[in-house]
Structure 1
Amino acid sequence: MKFGKAPTSLDQQVNRLMDRGMVISDRNTVIRYLSHLNYYRLTAYWLPFEADHETHRFFPETKFSDVLDLYIFDRELRLLILDAIERVEVSVRTGFSYHSSQRHGSHPHLKPELFFDKGKYRENLAKLKDEVNRSQRSGEKFVRHFREKYDEPLPPIWAAVESMSFGQLSKWYGNLKSRTDRKAIAEPYGLDEKCLRSFLHHLSVIRNLCAHHSRLWNRELTVIFRLPGRPAELASGLNPNPEGKRRLYNTLVMLVYLMDIVSPDHHWDHRLASLFDRHGIDFDRMGFPKVSSEYSIRLSAYGRTC
């Protein structure tokens, strides 16, 4: 079947929303928002306000400002999550470079025998070379200095790791052959190496969603992570239900847990709880469990349980 929908003007988009029952008090303001926020982008945010998904009729008294508030919440949530991911990423970079260099010298990334999947190793190495070259083009002096002075094709791991994307860091860690190496890197976080490997992959996907301004609220996550069985207080705070595992709650719990380790004086959980509170967010859509725990309490508006 050939696609037959015609493009619509901003005026037509506003008319469509009003015809479906949305309350619009200031037409010009809505047009201004729609000129900067793609109508199609906003459809995911007004879905919960639809009384009928077939006709797209809205519940009575649904206002455009309600949809906009949900959109703003999601944007602020992405920025807050990126803040936590940045600190976790820098910490894991440090652990990866420190432990691998302590055991294997300055250039473990140039030793294919340390990695169990040689095909993935070659892919990761080629990508790392590209990223290091990009760092040099963007003005990173350490790359130019290294290449002017030394013979190796890449800087030592403690420098090269600074050019790795989070996705690449996750792949390098996951491909380490030695379980001893993986355990040494995971140990400061109190996590099993398999759980850390799984969560880093998951978190790299979340980071990409945030970086590309994709919706996180009410998203069904396609890459879920292995839930840790220890420490007990962490394990008891996670939502093991199949549906809950595909929502954002478990990701937030893991980030709070890791922030407690990498930045003990943080107030990230308070900032997150405050964000939920300001926007009156439905915790069910975030995957919060029905039974409260230390983490669900920390994440839900300063002690207001879900």
Structure 2
Amino acid sequence: MSRPFTKPAMTIAQQMSHLSAQGMAIPDAAAAEYWLRHVSYYRLSAYWLPFEKPKGQPGPRFVNGTSFDRVIALYEFDRRLRLLLMSAIERIEVAVRGSWAYTLAHQGGPHSYLDASLYSERRQFHDNFSRLAREVGTSPETYIDHYRRTYDDPAMPPVWMVAEMMSFGQLSRWYSSLDDRALRNAIAKPLGLPEVVLVPLLKHLSTVRNSCAHHARLWNRGFLIRMKLPQKPAALAATLDSNLGAGPARLYNSLVLSGYLLQQIDVSTNWVSEIVALLSNHPTGDLAAMGFPQDWQTRPMWK
């Protein structure tokens, strides 16, 4: 039996009228029109979900006191959160790129990353290599073009060049597939975490980064790729929330570990303070939806 989609498209005026009829106050119609036109009804709908009554309750869709302005405040909070987290992950990613390239180059030479014996699964190595080779072959980057025009043996550039053109997801796969645990730990050492923690953390942060890069809702999102929580240093372990349950990972531990890694990269960073300042202006105050424990402000990293 077919299930045809029958919802009609609404004009902006109809969208505002529909929201008003469902119990959302719109104190400034011109401002609402601006947001609906330049952000869109559908994107904003993710941000008025927290203001909806549970399904099945009688009466209007939204709880009393819901206004379009509060929805926009939550949207803007989430946008600033994405920018802050994106800036942290950028620095973490660059640091991992550098450590991966430096360690491999000094362990076995500029092209040692091409040695299939370094990797635990040959098939995965060949998949990673094929993908990277295609990208090198079509890359418009000046430094890659210079290598192609200047050298033909080996056909692939040295590790410090390919490190710069890899996606974060690619870098994570190349790093995690290294067979030698000591080598993985040598790469992880400048970031202050053992490889057993850093490997799954990079996979997790890669998905978080992709959400940020695609401007997706972040603040109360759940992530299926989970992390392994470190047991030391003690201050970090005491800041993390180990009561995770079985559902998707919430953002709290992602923020804690990002803040910790940033402090290893730059001891002068004020990123944690910026996060705390942003959280103090959360429009709903519902930090539990982000995975924050009730006593989070008393934990070492946030003091």
TM-score by length of 2: 0.92
Distance between the aligned counterparts of 1:256 and 1:235, measured in 2? 13
The reply on whether 1:66 has 2:70 as its aligned counterpart is yes
3-state DSSP of counterpart to 2:53:
strand
Structure 2 unmatched runs, 5+: none
Instruction: Rate the CA distance shift 1:249–1:296 in 2: closer, same or farther, 3 A.
Output: farther
Which deviates the most, 81-90 or 283-292?
Answer: 283-292
Deviations 1:265-302, CA, capped at 9 Å, x for gaps:
1111111111112334422111112334665762xxxx
- Aligned to 2:228, which of 226, 229, 236? 226
| Displacement after TM superposition at 1:208 (Å) | 0.4
Question: Corresponding residue for 2:203?
Answer: 201
Question: Corresponding residue for 1:83?
Answer: 87
Distance between the aligned counterparts of 2:250 and 2:300, measured in 1? 14
The reply on whether 1:269 has 2:272 as its aligned counterpart is yes
Distance between the aligned counterparts of 1:267 and 1:242, measured in 2? 27
Contact preservation (8 Å) 1:237, 1:293: no
Contact preservation (8 Å) 2:239, 2:301: no
Structural mapping, 1:65-214, within 5 Å:
65-135=69-139, 137=140, 140-150=141-151, 151-214=153-216
Deviations 1:128-157, CA, capped at 9 Å, x for gaps:
22333454x2xx322122122222111110
**Residue type at the aligned position of 2:280:** D
Contact preservation (8 Å) 1:224, 1:246: yes
Deviations 1:93-150, CA, capped at 9 Å, x for gaps:
1110111111121112221111111221112112222333454x2xx32212212222
Question: Corresponding residue for 2:22?
Answer: 20
TM-score by length of 1: 0.91
Superposition RMSD in Å: 1.9
Instruction: Rate the CA distance shift 1:295–1:186 in 2: closer, same or farther, 3 A.
Output: farther
Structure 1 unmatched runs, 5+: none
**What is the aligned residue count?**
296
Deviations 1:4-62, CA, capped at 9 Å, x for gaps:
22222211111111001111112232122111222121122111111233466111121
Instruction: Rate the CA distance shift 1:68–1:54 in 2: closer, same or farther, 3 A.
Output: farther
